[in-house]
Amino acid sequence: MQLSSLLGHASELVRIVRKSPQPPDALAADFLRARKYIGSTERRFLSELVFHTLRTLSLADDVTRRFTLPDIVHGALALALSDTMPITLSEAMTAASKTTVADLDQPMQDAVAWCRTHLDIRANAPDDMSDATWACTQPWLLDSIGNDGVDLFRSMLGPAPLCLRVNLRHTTRDRVMHELASMGIQAEAGRWSPAAIIIRQRVNLLQHALYLNGMIEIQDEGSQLIGYACDPHPNDDVLDACAGAGGKTVHLADLQNDSGRILSADIEGARLKEIFGRTRRAGVRSVVTRLVHLTRGLDVSDARRGFDVVLVDAPCSGMGTVRRLPMVKWRLTPELAKRHAAKQRKILSTYARHVAQDGVLVYATCSILPAENRQVVEAFLADHPEFVEEPLAPVLARHGITVDGLDGTSGMLQVDPWHHGTDGLFMARLRKVS
């Protein structure tokens, strides 16, 4: 397929994604499934270029305007071919279209040359470009982060790697890595979680025995740290208050050696049903599910005397996942962010009622925004003097975990792609003392 045709398809898919609230990966899969004439290498090229465009919209738009290119996809391609971004499409483009940079028309060649000269990823923004455009985000989001905002947002321009969590009840990380190596899959141990394996190539393990037999789950390394922050003991009663599809639920059961009682609650019945597949694969029997109202909490019959550990992985903006869901950062508004924070404060207060005396409350989000993270916890502590911040470092150390940037006395931890190579996630560990 000629490059012009590939760019036309990419432009069409970008328009579809920008208009739809559906996840980009699902839209891309539907788009490509309906066009069976597109070969596998060309599909990879289209997918990479479309996601690269979505991640770099403001910068790609700037390049497009500077050189009067046909549309934003051409600007994104110029960025990719300049080797100044966290992703390069040179090999994919050559394989898919048999085209090199020298074969491009003059405006595209000029755009690539300008990007190579002015957009060194290790440097600052050009003098005539705003920091927000350079960081590929909205100005208000950049302001909300503060001094490190540009570096943080720039770190989220590349694709996220595949991260596995090993079920340590049934196998070891070394054994799984050996099995992956025998399949020709290059893998590396995670930096933080003792159960994490990082794979940087494109692979599908969902039909492999390792996954089907519950030896591995797909879970970001930062997300795995939330389970360790909960640190449930055997026989503890645990509430996963916003369980979703149960990724953290199953990890908590693994940490308890499946010997406690875990109640997984969520407002979406369809997502709760996914937990059954996960628990079956992992051989977990200690989990029960409950459909609940978002801000009412549990029925009295479920609450009993209270739970030893309550995890509130609150609904949030998702700003820590923009490597996977790039449209999140373009669609979020200040008003929506405020609504998220207000809802989070209410949910946290609701489920705090279910914490037993001397029990643990862990609050978590997949966001990098202080308004959804530290500020929510600080407001909660001001209103609930019966809870205190409990240092996370010694809790994580019990699992052999030391995280860069974690103060020894702090009960709050923010991880992100720039500092830790993970998704952007926040967690806070609180203890009920009275």
- Return the active site residues: 366
The candidate with the shortest Cα–Cα distance to 31, out of 49, 58, 4, is: 49
Distance CA 168, CA 194 (A): 9
Contact partners, residue 31, CB within 8 Å, separation at least 6: 12, 13, 16
The candidate with the shortest Cα–Cα distance to 283, out of 261, 248, 254, 240, is: 254
Q: Residue 313's beta-bridge partner residues?
A: 364
Instruction: Tell me if 149 sits within 8 A of 139, measured CB to CB.
Output: no
CB atoms within 10 A of CB 139: 13
Residue 313, annotated as binding a ligand: yes
Q: Residue 141's beta-bridge partner residues?
A: none
CB atoms within 10 A of CB 356: 17
**Phi, psi for 414 (deg, rounded to 5):** -115, 125
Q: Write down the number of H helices and E strands in the chain.
A: 21, 12
Per 3-state DSSP, what percentage of the chain is helix, strand, and coil (rounded to 5)? 45, 15, 40
The candidate with the shortest Cα–Cα distance to 140, out of 335, 397, 430, is: 335
Phi-psi region of 387 (alpha: psi -120 to 50; beta: other; left: phi over 0): beta
Residue 231, annotated as binding a ligand: no
Instruction: Tell me if 255 sits within 8 A of 232, measured CB to CB.
Output: yes
Distance CA 70, CA 73 (A): 8
DSSP 273: H
Q: Residue 291's beta-bridge partner residues?
A: 266
Q: Which residues are annotated as a binding site for S-adenosyl-L-methionine?
A: 266, 313
Q: Which residues are annotated as a binding site?
A: 266, 313
